[in-house]
Amino acid sequence: GMGGGGKTTLVMNIHNKIRGTQHFEVVIFVTVSRDWNIKKLRNDIAKKLDLDLSKKEDETGASTLLFNDLKRKKFLLILDDLWEKVDLEKLGVPTPKENNGCKIVITTRNRGVCNDMETDEEIVREVLPEREAWELFQEKAGSAISSDLEPIARDVCKECHGLPLAIIVVGRALRKETHMVVWENALRMLQNSQFELRGMEREVYLPLKFSYDHLETDTLRNCFPYCSFF
């Protein structure tokens, strides 16, 4: 699914629902992300299992230790935000078999990664349907959307193309905004950015989102869209 489409939110919800039930002995959630490496990922997984890999000097030793621990367990492993193939064997994670009840769930923006990981089942995270998008937008923009602002507000919402992250950021930036001119500026900016986004997602959108994700506080996050509007 697309960036900001709700993949992490979805698997995090699954994690929280399933943890502590009888379905699996262990449920492990780890964030992989773009700048991952296999050693760190292995350590992250081991930490969740209270397994100490630090005594193993070489990669193979660490990998075997993890493998032998997981082999005995009915596990659910959630790997969030994969950008490329993760070699499970090198990592030390047994490949789930149909009869042992183990499962691995991955999320990625790139369908090719699913192929590389030889997934059995793929689910495309669809964008929000128009009605849900509008509800989320209203929730974020606050109660200020008067009847004369509603048509333009709906247009602004449409420019977010059902992407939760876009709806939240844009909605919040316009929260309790009563001046028509501000809404008009916002709409214009979004319409222009759509044009520029095509084919430039990596270069332009991702760094923007990256910096947005790393802003410390909600206050800063709220300021960010203003910088792009004006």
Ligand X SMILES: Nc1ncnc2c1ncn2[C@@H]1O[C@H](COP(=O)(O)OP(=O)(O)OP(=O)(O)O)[C@@H](O)[C@H]1O
Per rule CB under 6 A, is residue 3 in the interface with ligand X?
A: yes
Q: Closest by alpha carbon to 183, among 213, 221, 153?
A: 153
Residue list 160-179, contact with ligand X (CB under 6 A): 164-165, 168
User: Min. distance of Cβ 162 from ligand X in angstroms?
Assistant: 10
Q: Give 49 or 165: the residue with its C-beta nearer to ligand X.
A: 165
- Total residues at the site for Mg ion (CB under 5 A)? 2
Beta strands in the chain (DSSP E): 26-31, 75-82, 103-108
Q: Which residue, judged by CB position, is nearest to Mg ion in the bound state?
A: 8
Instruction: Please give the order of strands across the beta sheet that includes 75-82.
Output: 26-31, 75-82, 103-108
Residue list 59-118, contact with Mg ion (CB under 5 A): 81
Out of 48, 56, 109, 221, the residue judged to bind ligand X by CB under 6 A: 109
Residue 56 binds which entry of ligand X, Mg ion, none, with Cβ cut-offs from 5 to 8 Å by kind? none
DSSP string spanning 120-183? S-----PPPPHHHHHHHHHHHH-TT--TTTHHHHHHHHHTTTT-HHHHHHHHHHTTT---HHHH
User: What is the number of alpha carbons within 13 Å of residue 125 lying toward its C-beta?
Assistant: 20
Residue 3 binds which entry of Mg ion, ligand X, none, with Cβ cut-offs from 5 to 8 Å by kind? ligand X
Per rule CB under 5 A, is residue 31 in the interface with Mg ion?
A: no
Q: Give 46 or 173: the residue with its C-beta nearer to ligand X.
A: 173
H or E segment to which residue 66 belongs: helix 59-71
Residues that bind Mg ion (CB under 5 A): 8, 81
Residues that bind ligand X (CB under 6 A): 1, 3-9, 81, 109, 136, 164-165, 168
